[in-house]
Chain A
Amino acid sequence: MTQTATTFRRMKDLPSTHLLGTGTPMCAGCGGLEALHQIYDVLGEKTVFVNAAGCMTLLSVYPFTPFRGSWLYTAMASAPAGAQGIRDALDILREKKGLPPEEDLEVVVLTGDGAAYGMGLSATSGAMERDLDFIYICYDNEGYGNTGQQYSGATPHAARTATSKGAHGFAGYKKDLFSIWAAHRPTYVATVIGAEPLDLARKIETARDLEGPRLIIALAPCPTGWDYDPRESVAIGKLAVRTGVWPLKEYRDGRIQHTRVPRERVPVEEYLKKQGRFAHLFEPERDETLLQELQAKVDAYWDSVEVQGG
């Protein structure tokens, strides 16, 4: 695998000024906004965002925007189609109207997990099939957060949501969107999290310097939907990585590589017990069966990674 030289060798290399405007209506402690402001610093101003309906639709509400460039709002399922239109228009401007290459823009889709894992999946599949030159950012807070955290295709097993309130939480399992995307053999797929900013910056830098479909899933700890004190956002994000619940990895040139392998994984329950959405696993009594099942899932994942030498 080709390794790109990174400008982000240590934490100190991260940007000290931020491009994304403050004053957005995202919740205090929003893990999605944390990832987005870090991503925007690396992608830069020459970007045009295509935003499917979701929490981040509220970023640009007339007459305010935190972006320094254009922003297009689409219906939930159609952001990659919107991106195709903008890419085509830019290509026409370049070919026929003499738009200089330095004035070209990077087209960036921004959607939540509701659109990415569910409604928008077919449009994304089509965009990859057409080898669309774009970046897709999914902020994954594991539910339909803007409408009150109903379950989505990204909701993890046993999490309580507004539509899975039973004693055992959500009965389904989180969809493996990374593998679904990678199976299309696009240019680049990666998982990131705002709580690991150096890993995030390197991956966004890699994506920025490539062409073709480049897709990123950012796990977005959500104080409102996951039910925890906003100050815990980064601590919970770090635990998602250290417990092995959220594997940081990238797909490129047909290969998957893990960028952070937690050698001594923290028990999964350390991650779960910080969040109200999993409180029923501990109160009024411990649900050993479910806790063991959740730990076993994570262990099985990492066992398979070690076998593959990832």
Chain B
Amino acid sequence: MYRIRFHGRGGQGMKTASRILGSAFFEAGYEVQDAPRYGAERRGAPIFAYVRAAREPINERGIIQRPDLVIVADDTLVAVPAAGVLAGVSARSVLLINSRDAAEVWRHRLNIDGPIVTLPVNTGVEDRAELPWIGASCAGAAARLVGVLPRQALVHAIETELGGLGDDVVGHNLENALAAWELMAPQYGLASEGGEPRAQEYQRPDWADLAFETARISAPTIYAAANSVEVRTGLWRTLRPVIDYSRCNRCWWVCSTFCPDGAISVDKDGQPRIDYDHCKGCMVCVAQCPPHAIAAVPEHQAQAEEAQPADIPGDPP
């Protein structure tokens, strides 16, 4: 059985990618499951989708713990623990990352032995939540990597799944899926079917057992005030708003009031401060700032600049 896991951000079309790949397998005569994981499907938030395909009826259910192929549509997710990109990855799992960095860089960075393939598409797009047609590219690359799907199955799956959106959308997606299909030609068949896990290898899921308790203890009552701040929604961000204080008019009542999340507050000098732990990167402040003092910087670039302080010349190898 093939066990394939897609990772992306809300808005990148991972659900569609899993549907296209699932339909392509079905075209080729496989039994198929494809499903996204239900959760916070918000734009920019980590999204999961799963495909199982086998020649025999599939009795396995639920999330895929031991993937044969992991597809990462957005390389900024690798560093996000909540995305769980590497969960259950073994030496035989293939990791396909959409990234401007080479496979060797990722091998060094992640320190894993298994095969890593990079899919350098749309790497110039700054707002990673808007990667155009990335879902189709991922599905096309995955279809080639498994090595058992004819090109026509992929084409027909895209026409079937996206037909309702019009010829233009089908055309763009076909073009991108087939470009990714061609790019993966050297790695044709790299991802192989995983065997059936034996009962004695069964590992209990890492969950906590809850003992029976009286309602006073077990009823979900929250006694803390505004403890939602413990949730770091800043991880959703693909663009970062950065204030140029030399141009800031200190009219904080604009950005601080309009920020939907209330993530901009005012310090004692009357300057607005953005809370990057919680800013989701909607860019409303960038659009509304009267003197245009807030810039939208790609998050990966902002993080790279933070990691390399400007006052240290050069970067030792």
Give the B-binding residues of A (Cβ under 8 A).
11-12, 14, 16-31, 33-34, 37-38, 45, 58-60, 62-69, 194-195, 197, 223-224, 229-235
Report the bound CA distance from A286 to B262 in whole Å. Answer: 39
Which one of A17, A197, A231 lies within 8 Å of B283 (CB-CB)?
A: A231
Given known contacts A16-B265, A28-B43, is B224 in contact with A65 (CB within 8 Å)?
yes
* CB-defined contacts of B122 to chain A, threshold 8 Å: none
Interface residues of B in 223-263 (CB under 8 A from A): 224-233, 236-237, 251-254, 256-263
Residues A16 and B256 in contact, CB atoms below 8 Å apart:
yes
Report the bound CA distance from A186 to B136 in whole Å. Answer: 54
CB nearest neighbor in B for A230: B282
CB nearest neighbor in B for A22: B278
Which one of B40, B254, B287 lies within 8 Å of A235 (CB-CB)?
A: B287
Which one of A38, A59, A67 lies within 8 Å of B257 (CB-CB)?
A: A38
Residues A234 and B288 in contact, CB atoms below 8 Å apart:
yes
CB nearest neighbor in A for B219: A62
CB nearest neighbor in A for B239: A231
Residues A23 and B257 in contact, CB atoms below 8 Å apart:
no
Chain B CB within 10 Å — which of A28, A29, A62, A195 has the most?
Answer: A28
Residues A11 and B254 in contact, CB atoms below 8 Å apart:
yes
CB nearest neighbor in B for A41: B262
CB nearest neighbor in B for A69: B225
* CB-defined contacts of B225 to chain A, threshold 8 Å: 21, 45, 65, 67-69
CB nearest neighbor in B for A35: B260
Residues B226 and A31 in contact, CB atoms below 8 Å apart:
no
CB distance from B42 to the nearest CB of A (A): 5
Report the bound CA distance from A94 to B85 in whole Å. Answer: 54
Residues A16 and B284 in contact, CB atoms below 8 Å apart:
no
Residues B44 and A19 in contact, CB atoms below 8 Å apart:
no
Residues A63 and B256 in contact, CB atoms below 8 Å apart:
no
Interface residues of B in 47-84 (CB under 8 A from A): none
Q: Is B281 an interface residue (CB 8 A)?
A: yes
CB distance from B234 to the nearest CB of A (A): 9
Residues A232 and B256 in contact, CB atoms below 8 Å apart:
no
Given known contacts A17-B266, A66-B226, A235-B287, is B253 in contact with A23 (CB within 8 Å)?
no
Report the bound CA distance from A284 to B265 in whole Å. Answer: 44
Residues A23 and B231 in contact, CB atoms below 8 Å apart:
yes
Residues B229 and A18 in contact, CB atoms below 8 Å apart:
no
User: Interface size class for chain B?
Assistant: 35 or more
Q: Is B220 an interface residue (CB 8 A)?
A: yes
Residues B228 and A24 in contact, CB atoms below 8 Å apart:
yes
* CB-defined contacts of A229 to chain B, threshold 8 Å: 130, 283
Q: Is B280 an interface residue (CB 8 A)?
A: yes
Residues A67 and B226 in contact, CB atoms below 8 Å apart:
yes
CB distance from B300 to the nearest CB of A (A): 17
CB distance from B298 to the nearest CB of A (A): 14
CB distance from B8 to the nearest CB of A (A): 16
* CB-defined contacts of A63 to chain B, threshold 8 Å: 220, 222, 227
Residues B44 and A28 in contact, CB atoms below 8 Å apart:
yes
Report the bound CA distance from A59 to B260 in whole Å. Answer: 13
CB distance from B225 to the nearest CB of A (A): 4
Residues B260 and A29 in contact, CB atoms below 8 Å apart:
yes
Given known contacts A28-B236, A63-B220, A67-B226, is B262 in contact with A22 (CB within 8 Å)?
yes
Q: Is B275 an interface residue (CB 8 A)?
A: yes
Q: Is B138 an interface residue (CB 8 A)?
A: no
Which one of A16, A25, A34, A233 lies within 8 Å of B42 (CB-CB)?
A: A25
Report the bound CA distance from A231 to B177 in whole Å. Answer: 29
CB nearest neighbor in B for A232: B287
Q: Is B286 an interface residue (CB 8 A)?
A: yes
Q: Can you report 27 A-B residue pairs in the complex whose CB atoms are below 8 A from each other?
A: A11-B251, A11-B254, A11-B257, A14-B253, A16-B253, A21-B228, A22-B263, A22-B278, A23-B230, A24-B233, A24-B261, A26-B260, A29-B280, A33-B260, A63-B222, A63-B227, A64-B228, A65-B222, A66-B226, A68-B226, A197-B253, A197-B257, A223-B43, A223-B282, A229-B283, A230-B283, A230-B284
CB distance from B68 to the nearest CB of A (A): 31
Residues B227 and A65 in contact, CB atoms below 8 Å apart:
yes
* CB-defined contacts of A194 to chain B, threshold 8 Å: 258, 260
* CB-defined contacts of B254 to chain A, threshold 8 Å: 11
CB distance from B161 to the nearest CB of A (A): 16
Report the bound CA distance from A235 to B288 in whole Å. Answer: 8
5 closest Cβ pairs, A-B complex:
A21-B226, A29-B282, A22-B278, A18-B262, A231-B283
CB nearest neighbor in A for B288: A234
Which one of A12, A17, A197, A224 lies within 8 Å of B43 (CB-CB)?
A: A224
Which one of A45, A60, A233, A234 lies within 8 Å of B222 (CB-CB)?
A: A60
* CB-defined contacts of B251 to chain A, threshold 8 Å: 11
Residues B280 and A28 in contact, CB atoms below 8 Å apart:
yes
Report the bound CA distance from A224 to B42 in whole Å. Answer: 8
